[in-house]
Amino acid sequence: MKEHPEWAAVSRSGKSTATNPPYVDYYRWMCPSNPDVQEFLKKDVQAMLDKDYVDGIHFDYIRYCDVILASNLWDVYGIEQLQELPEYDFCYCDLCKSKFKEKYGKDINEMKYPQTSLSWKEFRYQAVNNIAGELIQIANKHNKPVTAAVFPTPDVAKKLVMQDWTNWKLDAVFPMIYHGFYKEDVQWIGSAVQQGLRGLDGRFPLYAGLYLPDFKNVNEVDEGIQYALKNGAAGVSIFGEGNLNDEVLAVLSKYRKK
């Protein structure tokens, strides 16, 4: 960030995350359309996968900044996000705007409500999809798998963080199905798994990401796992591992394949 502040994503209000991080200080995003950013990430992944002791790559934060936060976080940040607010909507850097104009013939600066433009949304999904695709190709050449932690369902991922993960050619996906973040019950885990699998149409397996602090007790963890598996998840992955105690481990071991 210090060497290349020009790589940082810019909001609809014209602020760079290099100088004005949204929500929290560590929220510093790179512009996905910038070829230098793409090269930087490719070199990084290449160098990691060249090591014989690295078995694969796991993506996280391969998305835009949250243009709308999960509803349970509204209280935390004291913001009511019923719509896309300009300071959380990215990337409106000059490069993105000119690439969009080149491709779609439309000038973002002349659009009254660019946040409602379907082609502008599509352009931004594609920018991230392109990066994911290039990194996946590098992994394929190394014969090493790629997985990703993504937002909980295809719809929520697009709406909150403009992430189009069903179109990535992954080896497996780990949607963060954190029911508490969305003020949902444990049962919702099953519904989210179903939605993800419909979007994937059998192209790769889905492991439901469960957030331990969202469960009231160990029986609920067990229920969550059952909802995930009954609805077709290949397994579960555990987040919030600080809560991974012996009781939870005992539940997990029941489902372990012999």
Sites of contact with Zn ion (CB under 5 A): 31, 33, 91, 93, 96
Residue 80 or 94: the one with the smaller Cβ distance to Zn ion is 94
Q: Which residue, 91 or 160, is less far from Zn ion as judged by CB?
A: 91
> E-assigned strands of the chain?
57-59, 146-150, 172-175, 207-211, 235-239
Tokens 């009254």 locate to 112
Among candidate residues 32, 72, 90, the one with its CA nearest the CA of residue 179: 72
User: Smaller CB distance to Zn ion: residue 91 or 221?
Assistant: 91
| 97/158 with CB nearer Zn ion | 97
Quick check: 195 and 133 in contact, CB under 8 A? no
- Of the pair 93, 170, the CB lying nearest Zn ion is at 93
d(CA 141, CA 168): 16
Minimum CB–partner distance for residue 87 and Zn ion (Å): 16
- Please answer whether residues 169 and 133 qualify as being in contact, where contact means their C-beta atoms are separated by less than 8 angstroms: yes
CB of 114 to Zn ion, least distance (A): 13
Which residue, 108 or 252, is less far from Zn ion as judged by CB?
Answer: 108
Q: Which amino acid is at 1?
A: M
CB 96, min distance to Zn ion, A: 3
CB of 93 to Zn ion, least distance (A): 3
Cβ-based burial of 113 (10 A; exposed 0-12, middle 13-18, buried ≥19): exposed
Q: How far is the CB of 258 from Zn ion (least distance, A)?
A: 50
Q: How far apart are CA 83 and CA 91, in angstroms?
A: 17
The four Cα atoms 31, 38, 70, 10 give a dihedral, to 10 degrees, of 0
The minimum distance between CB 19 and Zn ion, in angstroms, equals 15
